[in-house]
Amino acid sequence: MSNVLNVALIQTSLVWENPKENRRLLNDKINTITGVDLIVLPEMFTSGFTMKPELVAEPMDGETILWLKQLAKEKNAVIMGSLVISENNNFYNRMVCVEPSGKITTYDKRHTFTLAGEDKVYTAGSEKVIFNYKGWKICPLVCYDLRFPVWARNVEDYDLLIYVANWPKVRIKAWDALLQARAIENMTYCIGVNRVGLDGNNYEHSGHSVVYDVLGNRLDHISENEETIEFVTLHKDAIKKYREKLNFLNDGDGFSLKVQIQ
């Protein structure tokens, strides 16, 4: 149990559909990081947001997962981000949260991005996931999930909401506004990690990775368009203080959620 959580956000460009090169580049960045509890990578960090999963997909015992397990152990930190996983004859845009012990929590992206045809080639997830690390309850979500607040609704009393993304510059105002809204409405720390640079479809990504507190105040100093590693320290006492003082979560409407699998 820890009152503080030290987090590193890696805002980076990605090499299109090249897992080996992305692992090499990210390995160099991660090896500069010390003294953190959690390292967050972007969505599809081994490939960029490709609709050709057969070119880059790996099993859960593949090279990238083995690499992450070794790095997590060396850094004594959780490393998390999404990549393309092949399992049971399906492809998934899967968030993996790899702990130093080797334990892995996975979350399959629930809202596949129909505008890009993601729903045609990737199988949507059906379960919301919360994992506990050092006494912090963490909710991992992926990119397009951000547009659907019911899925993120804080009925589990989680402490930290994390989105990883390949969110294009052309719609970056939505990314900015919705991340702040998710923090405020759920009275939680909210982190968004987005990539920078051009992808293989010539879409530009400007980053805008960010950290918000429970009141929607920004805690980071990340510049747009730049490759960078940002460090933030989160305090659990701040969550408790404002939830007890303001009581907003207890006044929410009750509801049930029916998940339809595509």
- Domains identified in the chain and CATH numbers: 4-249 (3.60.110.10)
Residues 137, 130 contacting (CB under 8 angstroms): yes
pLDDT tens, 63-105? 999 999 999 999 999 999 999 999 999 999 999 999 999 999 9
The predicted pLDDT at position 116 comes to: 97
Q: What's the average model confidence in pLDDT over 145-154?
A: 97
Report pLDDT digits (tens) over 168-193: 999 999 999 999 999 999 999 999 99
Active-site residue among 43, 58, 118, 230?
43
* Phi/psi-derived region of residue 8, left when phi > 0, alpha when psi is between -120 and 50, beta in every other case: beta
Cα separation of 140 and 14, whole Å? 21
- What is the share, in percent, of the chain residues with pLDDT greater than 70? 98
pLDDT band at residue 258, thresholds of 50, 70 and 90?
confident
227 carries an active-site annotation: no
Average pLDDT over the chain, rounded to an integer:
96
* Mean pLDDT of the 99-118 span: 98
Q: Which two tokens stand for residue 74?
A: 């060396």
Q: Is 173 a catalytic residue?
A: no
Give the pLDDT band of residue 166 (cuts 50, 70, 90): very high
- For residue 259, what pLDDT is reported? 67
Q: Which of 75, 97, 99, 109 is catalytic?
A: 109
| Active-site residue, 43 included | yes
Task: List, for residues 9-66, the tens digit of each pLDDT value.
Answer: 999 999 999 999 999 999 999 999 999 999 999 999 999 999 999 999 999 999 999 9
Question: Looking at the predicted structure, is the pLDDT value of residue 262 above 60?
Answer: no
- 60 CB contacts (<8 Å, ≥6 apart)? 85, 87, 104, 106
List C-alpha distances in Å: 212 to 46, 166, 172, 177, 216.
26, 19, 16, 11, 5
Angle at 222 between CA 221 and CA 227, to 5 degrees: 150
- Determine which one of 97, 139, 143, 190 is catalytic: 143
List, as one string, the DSSP characters of the chain: --SEEEEEEEE----TT-HHHHHHHHHHHHTT--S-SEEE--TTTTT-S-S-GGGT-B-TTSHHHHHHHHHHHHHTSEEEEEEEEEETTEEEEEEEEE-TTS-EEEEE-SS--GGGTHHHHSPPP-----EEETTEEEEEEEGGGGG-HHHH---S--SEEEEEE---GGGHHHHHHHHHHHHHHHTSEEEEEE-EEE-TT--EEE---EEE-TTS-B---PPTTS-EEEEEEEEHHHHHHHHHHH-GGGGSPP--------
Using only C-alpha atoms, the chain has a radius of gyration, in whole angstroms, of 17
pLDDT at 261: 54
SS3 labels along 227-258: CEEEEEEEEHHHHHHHHHHHCHHHHCCCCCCC
For residues 74 and 83, what is the distance between their CA atoms, to the nearest angstrom? 21
Segment 234-255 shows an average pLDDT of 93
